[in-house]
Structure 1
Amino acid sequence: MSDDRQSWWLTREDRGALWIPRAILAAGIIIGAVFLVASGEITQRSSQAEELEQEKLSRQAEDIITILDATNRLATEGGSPGFVLYWNAREIRFINSHIDDPGDDYYTTLENSPNNPLRPVLQKTLGPEAVGVNIHVRYQTGDGTLNRTRVLYQGPPGQNAVRESRNILLSDDVTPTLGGTSSDGDACTLGEMGGSTGTGTNGCTDKAFYAPDASPNSSVYNAIRVQITIWET
């Protein structure tokens, strides 16, 4: 009986029509499997590319904050200028920051500030890459609360943004880049300026700094926390 059944399948004139739905179903399964595999590979590659980009941004942010931290510390010791002290105490703004926008006391680009200590650092670490950068400084106010000042602001960070931060201690005897001259002919120090209110001494009452003197009864002026945020644009 099995032989007759086999012959019946082999000799029926409509056997091709019977196999067509099965062939279509099998082809659909194969195509679906191929699609799933390809989709998985694309998703995996996309995820790997995003991880690599995040790692790259993290390295760049780490490099930037490390260099800035070093230059800022040199500045507090009387060395090369650091951006935390790249301040015009008479105009009460970061030097040349008003060129981008007369109403701003921070930078939106560094194109009009060729001597800004931020510029060579960002050029060296980021180059021509399409990367957005925000830099803020945080510090204590007179009542102990925290305040934040923009240094460089290029808009809201993207979803892939990474952040790095460092702390630096400023003392009363530190002088901003354009701090003005005191009554004795020396540059006005932060302690002589009287903080952010401009109520200082020794002929420095008309100058002010962005951060106040958080510890007026000591030689410590304020603790500045520098935060950098970068993202792919």
Structure 2
Amino acid sequence: MSTGADRRSRRDACDGRRGQAHTLEGIIAGLLVLSSIVFALQVTAVTPLSASTSSQHIQNQQRAATAGVLASAAESGALERTALYWDESGPSFHDTGPRGRYASAPPTEFGTLLEETFDRRGIAYNVYVTFAIPGDDQRRIQMVYQGAPSDSAVRVSHTVTLTDDAALRAADGTPTTTNVSETDSFYAPDVSQTGLYNVLSVEVVVWRI
């Protein structure tokens, strides 16, 4: 038969186990709350940085691709031939329509490089040609225009030096019998009394659609 002392002992032991259980539950709950706070802080701190890093990486890739296209076109002569792809009767680049500019890649070797590099990847681009005019000033015309660039657009340019004997190109890309120094319809004027005609800067602006 249990005595009063035994019952008190069992009750104290039971209360002790309950107290330990409550204490353990409190510790686990505290750890869960702490873990949630740490996770929330990590998400808040990392997400903007990750997005910025990703955006910068994309811009670096686009810049490298654009520089590669321009360098390759310049080395092969395609960039100069495109700059000379001019219709005297326009006067404008060949087959550009009333606006005098292309809405997509021009039908030249340089245009093919642009199309293969950017069109198939959903990247828009504009192409501008800047040239010197008398009075130490410059002017710019549009060769390709696909819209207003985004804030994250990348700009890369490459120079093309034209001499007086540089021949304009026909619609099929072949050289004509007209040199730039022999016509008044070409967009860039002769700014030198020497054999140098003008120095052009072909700029390509790219951005993801």
Question: Which TM-score bucket, shorter chain as reference?
Answer: 0.7 to 0.9
Q: CA distance change for structure 1 residues 228 and 74 in 2, over 3 Å: closer, same or farther?
A: closer
Give 1:123's match in structure 2, choosing from 115, 124, 138: 115
In structure 2, relative to structure 1, the CA distance for the partners of 1:176 and 1:19 (3 Å cut) is same
Pairing partner for 1:188 from 145, 153, 178? 178
What amino acid maps onto 1:31 in structure 2? S
Structure with the bigger percentage of strand: 2
* Equivalent position amino acid for 2:104 in 1: T
Task: Tell me how far apart the structure 2 counterparts of residues 172 and 73 of structure 1 sit (CA, whole Å).
Answer: 18
Amino acid at match of 1:106: R
Unmatched 5+ stretches in structure 2: 1-11
| Structure with the greater alpha carbon radius of gyration | 2
Q: Is 1:109 the equivalent of 2:108?
A: no
Report the aligned-residue RMSD: 3.2
Name the structure 2 match of 1:59. 64
Q: How many angstroms apart in 2 are the aligned matches of 1:123 and 1:219?
A: 34
TM-score by length of 2: 0.77
Structure 1 gaps, min length 5: 1-6, 76-81, 180-185, 199-207
- The runs of at least 4 consecutive aligned structure 1 residues that moved more than 6 Å come to 13-25
- 1 or 2, which has the higher helix percentage? 2
Q: How does 1:106-185 map to 2 (within 5 A)?
A: 106-110=101-105, 115-126=107-118, 128-178=120-170
Give the % identical residues: 19
* Partner Cα separation in structure 2 for residue 54 and residue 143 of structure 1: 36
Q: Could you tell me which residue of structure 1 aligns to residue 201 of structure 2?
A: 225
Report if aligned partners of 1:144, 1:214 keep a CA contact under 8 Å in 2: no
> Once the 2 structures are TM-superposed, how far is the Cα of residue 230 of structure 1 from its aligned partner?
0.9
**Is 1:47 the counterpart of 2:23 in the alignment?**
no
CA distance in structure 1 between the aligned counterparts of 2:136 and 2:43, rounded to whole angstroms? 57
Corresponding residue to 2:36 among 31, 34, 42: 31
Structure 2 distance, partners of 1:43, 1:142, is 48
What is residue 79 of structure 1 aligned with on the other side? none
Paired with 2:24 and 2:155, the residues of 1 have a C-alpha distance of 62
Letter of the 2:93 counterpart: F
